[in-house]
Amino acid sequence: MIVQKFTGSREEQARGLAKRMVGMYCEKIEEARESAYVGGRKAGLEALEGFRVQGYADTRNKLNGNVSRLSFYVRHGVLGIREVAESVRERFGKSYDAAKFWQELGWRQFWRHLYGLWGDGIYEDREAAKVLLGSGAEEELPAEIAEGRTGLVCMDETVRELVGTGYIHNHARMWFASFVVHFQKLGWRAGERFFYRHLLDGDPASNALSWQWVASTFSHRAYLFNQENIQENGGKEWCARCTAKCPFDATYPELERRLFSK
Amino acid sequence: MKTGVWLHGDSLSKRDPALRKHPGGGSVFVFDRPFLEKAGLSFKRIFFLYECAVEVAEEMRMGETVEEVVEWMREQGLGRLAVTESPSPRWRETVERLRQKVEVEVVPAEELVEVPEGYRVKRFTPFWKDLGREWV
In this prediction, residue A11 carries a pLDDT of 97
CA of A243 vs chain B CAs: smallest distance (Å): 31
Q: What is the mean predicted confidence (pLDDT) over A231-240?
A: 97
Question: Which is nearest to A59 in space by CA: A107, A101, A103?
Answer: A101
Residue in A closest to B128 by C-alpha: A106
Residue B47 pLDDT level (bands cut at 50, 70, 90): very high
pLDDT at A262 over 80: no
Query: Average pLDDT of chain A?
Result: 97
- pLDDT at position A109, please? 96
Q: Which residues of A touch B91 (CB under 8 A)?
A: none
- Chain A residues whose CB is inside 8 A of the B50 CB are 13, 17, 39
Write the residue in A42, A113, A196 that is nearest to B55 by C-beta. A42
- How far is the alpha carbon of B106 from chain A, nearest alpha carbon, in Å? 15
Q: Is B88 on the interface with A (CB under 8 A)?
A: yes
CB B48 to CB A198 under 8 A?
Answer: no
Nearest Cα of chain B lies from the Cα of A219 at a distance, in angstroms, of 8
State the pLDDT at residue B93. 98
Residue B126, helix vs strand vs coil: helix
- Nearest by CB to A27, which of B43, B87, B92? B43
Interface contacts (A, B; CB < 8 Å) = 185
pTM here? 0.97
All residues of chain B having their beta carbon less than 8 Å from the beta carbon of residue A24 are 31, 33, 36-37, 41, 46
- State mean pLDDT over A206-217: 98
Average pLDDT score over residue span B57-66 = 98
pLDDT tops 70 at residue B81 = yes
Closest CA in chain B for residue A102:
B135
For residue A176, is it left (φ>0), alpha (ψ between -120 and 50) or beta?
Answer: alpha
Question: pLDDT grade, residue B75 (50/70/90)?
Answer: very high
Percent of chain B with pLDDT over 90: 97
Cα end-to-end span (Å), chain A: 55
Q: What are φ and ψ of residue B87, in 5° steps?
A: -80, -5
Cβ–Cβ gap B62/A27 under 8 Å: no
- The 10s digit of each residue's pLDDT in A132-157 is 999 988 999 999 999 999 999 999 99
Mean pLDDT of all residues in A188-215: 98
Q: What is the arithmetic mean of pLDDT over B120-124? A: 93
Q: At what angle do helices A188-198 and B43-56 cross, to 10 degrees?
A: 40
pLDDT digit string, tens, across residues B7-21: 999 999 999 999 999
What is the per-residue pLDDT across A33-92, written as a single tens digit (0 to 9) for each?
999 999 999 999 999 999 999 999 999 999 999 999 999 999 999 999 999 999 999 999
ipTM for the whole complex: 0.96
**Closest approach of chain A CAs to the CA of B82, in angstroms?**
16
Residue-level pLDDT at B73? 98
- A43 contacts on B by Cβ (under 8 Å): 51
Distance of CA A251 to CAs A154, A162, B114, Å? Answer: 18, 28, 42
Flag whether pLDDT at A261 surpasses 90. no
Cβ pair A198:B42 closer than 8 A: yes
- Check pLDDT > 80 for residue A187: yes
Binary contact (B54, A107; C-beta < 8 A)? no
**B84 chain-A contacts, CB cut-off 8 A:** 77
B132/A106 Cβ within 8 A: yes
> What is the greatest pairwise CA distance in chain B?
49
Residue at A87: amino acid letter: S
Has residue A32 got a pLDDT over 70? yes
Convert chain A into a string of H (helix), E (strand) and C (coil).
Answer: CEECCCCCCHHHHHHHHHHHCCCCCCCCHHHCCCCCCCCCHHHHHHHHHHCCCCCHHHHCCCCCCCCCCCHHHHHCCCCCHHHHHHHHHHHHCCCHHHHHHHHHHHHHHHHHHHHHHHHHHHHCCCCCCCCCCCCCCCCCCCHHHHCCCCCCHHHHHHHHHHHHHCCCCHHHHHHHHHHHHHHCCCCHHHHHHHHHHHCCCCCHHHHHHHHHHHHCCCCCCCCCCCHHHHHHHHCCHHHHHCCCCCCCCCCHHHHHHHHHCC
CB contact under 8 A, B42 and A81: no
